[in-house]
Chains A and B, each alone.
Chain A
Amino acid sequence: MSVNRGVAGGAGAALTSPFNVWKIREDFPILGRKVHGKPLVYLDNAATTQKPRAVIDAVSQFYSNDCANIHRGVHWLSERSTGLYEDARVAVQRFLGAADAREIIFVRGATEGINLVAQSYGRRHVGAGDEVLISAMEHHSNIVPWQLLCEEKGARLRVAPIDDRGELIVSEFGKLLSSRTRIVAVNHVSNALGTVNPVADLIAMAHSAGAVVLVDGAQAAPHLPVNVREMDCDFYCFSGHKIYGPSGVGVLYGKAALLESMPPYQGGGDMIRSVTFEKTTFNDLPYRFEAGTPNIAGVIGLGAAIGYVSRTGLEHIAAYERDLLDYATQAVSAIPGVRVIGTAREKAGVLSFVVDGIHPHDAGTILDRQGIAIRAGHHCAQPVMERFGVPATSRASFAFYNTREEADALARGILKVKEIFA
C-alpha cells in the first residue's frame, strides 16, 4: 500500500470521496516509482495517462495466449481474438451510449478519427464557397485536417472566438453558423485550457443550420460521462491512451446513416467484400473503415481500460477530479506571481498557468527535478497561446489517481521555481 502513496501524507479529504484514491493508486504500477530520487507526481495526464494493471494484463494476456489475426482465420485462435476484439467494440458502444456497435470505428487515435471524417465525409460534402466552423480553442489536430480540406475544396474555415476566461462565446458561434456551414468541429474539453464546452447546445444550433457536428472528445472521455445519443453529435472521437488504455488506438463514433453514406477512407484488406481488377465492393460498417490488420492488442487493451473506468464510475471520477482541480487551482493561484490561463466556469482536468518572468520550460525542468511531471509548451494549441498573449504555459493535468497531496507538492514545486529565479 505505502509504495504507491507517492507523496507523504495520505488521509485527508481524499478518503471521504466516493472512492478510495489510495486503493485506486495500487492499480497503477508506475505510480510507485521514483524520478530523480523523488516519488513520481504525474501531472501530465492530458498528454497521456498511466495504465492500470488490468490494461497491462489484457495486452500481455492477448500476446501470451490469444494472439491471432481477426476476421480471417477459420482456426480456433482467430475466432477467439476476433471475439475479444468485437467485445471491446461493444464495450465502447455502451460506454458512449451509441445505438449500435456498427457505429464504433477503431482508429489510431482522435487525430485519425478527425482526419477520417474530414477526408471521407468532408471531401464528399464540402465544396467551393462552403464553410467549416471550429472554435478558437482547438488542438492542432482539430484545425489542420479542416484547413487541408478547405484548401483543397476552396471552402472557408471559420473560427468562433473565446473570451478572457477561455469560454467559447456562444453568441458569436451562432452568428458564424449559416446555410453555408457544412461541418462544425469543436472539442468537448480544451486540452490547453480545460474548458468544458456546452456541446449539446452547440450541436442543436449547428443542426438548425443544417451542419453536421464532430466533437473531439480526447480530453473529455476520461473525465466526464459521455452519451452521444443525448448530445446528438454526428461524430465523436477519442484516444485510447488518454483514457488509461494503450497508445496507437482510438475510437471514432459516427451515426450509422452518415457512415453508410461515406466513401472509404483507406483501401486495403478487411474493408472490402470482393475485389477484382475491374470492381471492388466495400464491406459493411464498421469494417469498411478498418482497412488492414488493426491494432488488435490495443483495442483489447482499450476494452479493458473502458471496463476499468466504467467499474469506477465516471460520475464518481468527475466529482472527485472536480474537487481536486478546484483544490489545486486554489493552491497554485494563491502563489504571488502565478496567473492561471483558462478560468472557465466549467472545467475538467487541466490547470494551465504562467509564473511572472519565468519561462514555462524552466519551470518544467525545475519541477521535474522534484519528481513532478507537467507539460510546458504550447500544447499543440498555438492559437490559444496567442489569444492569451503567452508563448507557452505550464500545464498540470489531473487524473482520478492524483491526490491533494500531489497538488500541494505542485504548489511547493512552484515556490522552488520562484526561489531559484529570485
Chain B
Amino acid sequence: MSGLEDLYQQVIVDHSRRPRNFRPLQGSRQAEGYNPLCGDRVTIYVNLEGDKVKEVAFQGSGCAISTASASLLTEALKGKTLAEAGQMFERFHELVTHGGAAPASLGKLAAFAGVSEYPTRVKCATLPWHTLRAALKNAPEVVSTE
C-alpha cells in the first residue's frame, strides 16, 4: 500500500473533511473553477488590502485532493503579498507536477508532494490555484484544469 499514505496525508484528509475558510466573502474578487469530467467545482473569493491578501475563502464540492488544496490555499495565502502569492503558485505547481523536496516556504502545502506520483490527480490539486489566479484578475471565465 506504499504511496497511498503519501497522497492522503493526515493534513489532506483533515482539510478535506473539515475545510477551513469555507464561506463566501462579501464584495470580494472571485472566480469559479470547474472540471467537468470529474465534476469538481470551486469558487475562490479574495479581498485585497493594497497588494496584500487580506482575506481568502472558498466554496465548492469535489474530491479530497481538490477540497484540501483549496482549504490549505486559503490558510497559506492570508497576509501574503501578491508577489509572494505568485511565487507560491509557481512552487506549488512545481511540487505537484514534479515532486521532490518541498521548499520550506510552502509550509503545510508540502503535504501535496505525493500528488506528483498520481498524474490523473494533479488537476484536482491545481484547480483551486488556477482559480485563485483568475479571481485575482476577477476573470469572468470559468477555469478548468482538465
Closest to A363 in B: B63
- Residues in chain B near residue A377, CB distance under 8 A: 37-39
Residue A362 CB within 8 A of the other chain: yes
Closest Cβ–Cβ distance, residue A96 to chain B (whole Å): 33
Type the 1/0 row for B25-65, where 1 means its CB is closer than 8 Å to any CB of A: 00000000000011100000000000000000000011111
A369 surroundings in chain B (CB, below 8 A): 1, 3-4
Within 8 A of A (CB), among B105-126: 118, 120-121, 124
* Cross-chain contact A421 with B3 (CB below 8 angstroms): no
Nearest opposing residue in chain A for B64, CB measure: A362
Which residues of A sit under 8 angstroms from B38, Cβ to Cβ?
A: 361, 376-377, 392
In the complex, A378 Cα to B37 Cα: how many Å? 8
* Choice from A36, A359, A370 contacting B63 with Cβ under 8 Å: A359
Q: From the candidates B1, B8, B17, B62, name the one contacting A357 in the complex (CB within 8 A).
A: B17
In the complex, whether A154 has a CB less than 8 A from a CB of chain B is no
Query: What's the least CB distance linking B33 to chain A, in Å?
Result: 15
Contacts of B65 in A (CB 8 A): 361-362
Tell me, in angstroms, the Cα distance from A421 to B68 when the chains sit together. 13
Across the interface, B118 reaches (CB within 8 A) one of A358, A360, A365, A370, namely A365
**A275: CB under 8 A from chain B?**
no
Cα of A63 to Cα of B7 in the assembled complex, Å: 44
- Please determine whether A392 and B39 come into contact, CB atoms closer than 8 angstroms: yes
Query: What residue in chain A is nearest B7 (Cβ atoms)?
Result: A365
Is A344 located at the chain interface by the 8 A CB criterion?
Answer: no
B64 contacts across to A, CB distance below 8 A = 358-359, 362, 421
Among A348-391, those with CB < 8 Å from B are 357-362, 365-366, 369-370, 376-378, 391
The yes or no answer to B76 lying at the interface (CB within 8 A) is: no
Q: How far is the CA of A360 from the CA of B64 in the complex (A)?
A: 10
B51 to chain A, nearest CB (A): 36
The answer to whether A370 touches B124 (Cβ under 8 A) is no
Q: Is the CB of B37 within 8 A of A420?
A: no
**B residues less than 8 Å from A362 (CB atoms):** 8, 63-65
Please measure, in the bound complex, the distance between the C-alpha atom of A123 and the C-alpha atom of B124, giving whole angstroms.
41
Rounded to whole angstroms, the CA-CA distance of A360 and B63 in the bound complex is 7
- Number of CB contacts from chain A to chain B under 8 A: 45
- Contacts A361-B38, A377-B38, A377-B39 hold; do A366 and B62 have CB atoms under 8 A apart? no
| Chain B 3-18 interface residues, beta-carbon cutoff 8 Å to A | 3-5, 7-8, 13, 17
Please name all residues of chain B whose beta carbon is closer than 8 Å to the beta carbon of A370 when the two chains form the complex.
1
A116 to chain B, nearest CB (A): 26
- Closest B residue to A36 by beta carbon equals B3
B8 and A420: CB pair below 8 A?
Answer: yes
For the complex, what is the distance from the CA of A359 to the CA of B8, rounded to whole Å?
13
Give the shortest distance, in Å, between A296 (CB) and chain B (any CB): 33
Q: Which residues in A have their C-beta under 8 angstroms from that of B124?
A: 361
Minimum CB–CB distance from A310 to chain B (whole Å) comes to 36
**Bound-complex Cα distance A421 to B7 (A):** 12
A357 to B17, CA, bound (A): 8
B118 — which chain A residues lie within 8 A by C-beta? 365
Give every chain B residue within 8 A of A359 (Cβ-Cβ).
62-64
Q: How far is the CB of B6 from chain A (nearest CB, A)?
A: 10
Contact pick for B13, options A378, A392, A421, CB 8 Å = A421
Closest to A37 in B: B2
CB distance from B18 to the nearest CB of A (A): 11
Shortest CB distance A339–B (Å): 17
Q: What is the CB-to-nearest-CB distance from B91 to chain A, in angstroms, rounded to a whole number?
A: 24
**B62's closest neighbor in chain A, by CB?**
A359
**Closest chain B residue to A359, Cβ basis:** B63
Q: How far is the CB of B98 from chain A (nearest CB, A)?
A: 19
Given contacts A361-B38, A365-B121, contact A420 B13 (CB under 8 A): yes
Docked complex Cα distance between A376 and B61 (Å): 15
Knowing A377-B39, A391-B39, A392-B39 touch, does A416 contact B62 (C-beta < 8 A)?
A: no
- Would you call A366 and B17 a contact (CB within 8 A)? no
CB-based nearest A residue for B3: A369
In the bound complex, CA of A115 to CA of B71 (Å): 44
Q: A377-B37, A377-B38 are known contacts. Are A361 and B4 too (CB-CB below 8 A)?
A: no
Across the interface, which residues of A come within 8 angstroms of B8, CB to CB?
362, 366, 420-421
Closest Cβ–Cβ distance, residue A44 to chain B (whole Å): 14
| Closest CB in chain A relative to B32 CB, distance in Å | 15
* 5 examples of A-B residue contacts, CB within 8 angstroms: A358-B64, A360-B63, A365-B7, A366-B4, A420-B13
Task: State the 7 A-B residue pairs at the shortest beta-carbon distance, nearest first.
Answer: A359-B63, A361-B63, A391-B39, A362-B64, A420-B8, A362-B63, A369-B4
5 extra interchain contacts, Cβ-Cβ under 8 A, other than A358-B64, A378-B39?
A36-B3, A359-B62, A359-B63, A361-B65, A392-B39
Which B residues contact A (CB, under 8 angstroms)?
A: 1, 3-5, 7-8, 13, 17, 37-39, 61-65, 118, 120-121, 124
